[in-house]
Amino acid sequence: MQWRLLAPRYWPTWAGIALLRLLALLPYAWVIALGGLLGRLLRLVARRFVSIARRNLELCFPELDAPARERLLDRHFASLGIALLETPLAWWSSPARFARLVHLEGREHVEAALARGRGAIVLTAHFTTMELAGRALATSLTRIGFLYRPTRNEVLTYALERFRTGYGGHAIPRDDIRAFIGAVRNNECVWYAPDQSYRKKGAEMVRLFGIPAATNTLTSRLARMTGAPVLPYFLHRLPGTQGYRAVIHPPLENFPTDDAVADTERFNHLIEAQVRLVPEQYLWIHRRFKGLSEDYPDYYAREAPRRA
């Protein structure tokens, strides 16, 4: 660690990390209960995120009436609050405690893929349980890389890199495509989530919940370049204090094709199916539905009607 990370401007960040470390000692039932309370508080004060999430739910669940979407919005913020307290569990839980909480299925699919010597691409989506999903992979697989986005706060970037990889694996900056390809060609598993809004080179308009949105189609091209199989992977929080179920699915068949947009939309359909299982656990506070041209609707220009 570089000494500049101990500068006074970073002391609040270190204090926050220390608080997270203490929260890792909480019993799991407390994590769920206190996280739900924290989520209710966020629901009251984080108005910008509430507006974004409400709009996303309007777009993706038009079949629900307004009261049903508001109830889902409430559950989503409870899930966000729990996710904040799950981060210490992912970073500092002992292997024994983590094994009691998280049950991983489908490890054999990755092992079979790596046995062929072409690496593996493991795709996920931005659910609120992502920190736990990464830990589950790191503790189960011996050769794995994680794509991540460096933050402006150097201490936070340092913490994310260190604690996310503390139980195995290594970090790969999101824009370092060479490192991504190198890891796959070194017969490693690379895990990442390409489901957020993307408007850089290589972006295409791909449907999610029937709505075209700016999307990264890189997975299809990477699979074609490397010959690596692509395996979907999702982790869900179970009801109450039952813990978590993580599933690595078999490799996608007939993937990739010559149509990167169709390949990406195929994965989006898988995301939709997973979201419908636990809709409150998807990350709705992200402005997912953006376009690549001026004529695309600005879905977030207005706030959705507020609950009376």
What secondary structure does DSSP assign to 220-237, as a single string?
A: HHHHHHH---EEEEEEEE
Residue 241 has pLDDT above 90, yes or no: yes
What tokens appear for 118 in the block?
């072409």
Q: Quick one: 219 exposed, middle or buried, by C-beta within 10 A (0-12, 13-18, 19+)?
A: buried
In 220-289, beta strands by DSSP E: 230-237, 244-248
Q: Is the peptide bond before 256 cis (omega within 30 degrees of 0)?
A: yes
Least confidently predicted of 69-73, 229-233, 255-259, 304-308: 304-308
Closest by CA to 47, choosing from 234, 217, 285, 283, is 285
**75: which residues sit within 8 A by CB, 6+ positions away?**
280
What secondary structure does DSSP assign to 6-19, as a single string?
A: GSGGGHHHHHHHHH
Q: How many residues does the chain have?
A: 308
| N-terminal to C-terminal alpha carbon distance within the chain | 50
Q: How many CB atoms lie within 10 A of CB 293?
A: 7
Confidence of residue 305 (pLDDT cuts 50, 70, 90): very low
Residue 175 has pLDDT above 50, yes or no: yes
What value does the mean pLDDT of the chain take?
A: 93
SS3 call for 146: strand
Say if residues 239 and 97 touch (Cβ distance below 8 Å): no
List, for residues 91-119, the tens digit of each pLDDT value: 999 999 999 999 999 999 999 999 999 99
List, for residues 131-163, the tens digit of each pLDDT value: 999 999 988 887 789 888 878 888 988 888 888
Confidence of residue 306 (pLDDT cuts 50, 70, 90): very low
Say if residues 129 and 282 touch (Cβ distance below 8 Å): no
Say if residues 300 and 291 touch (Cβ distance below 8 Å): no
State percent of the chain over pLDDT 90: 80
Confidence of residue 302 (pLDDT cuts 50, 70, 90): low
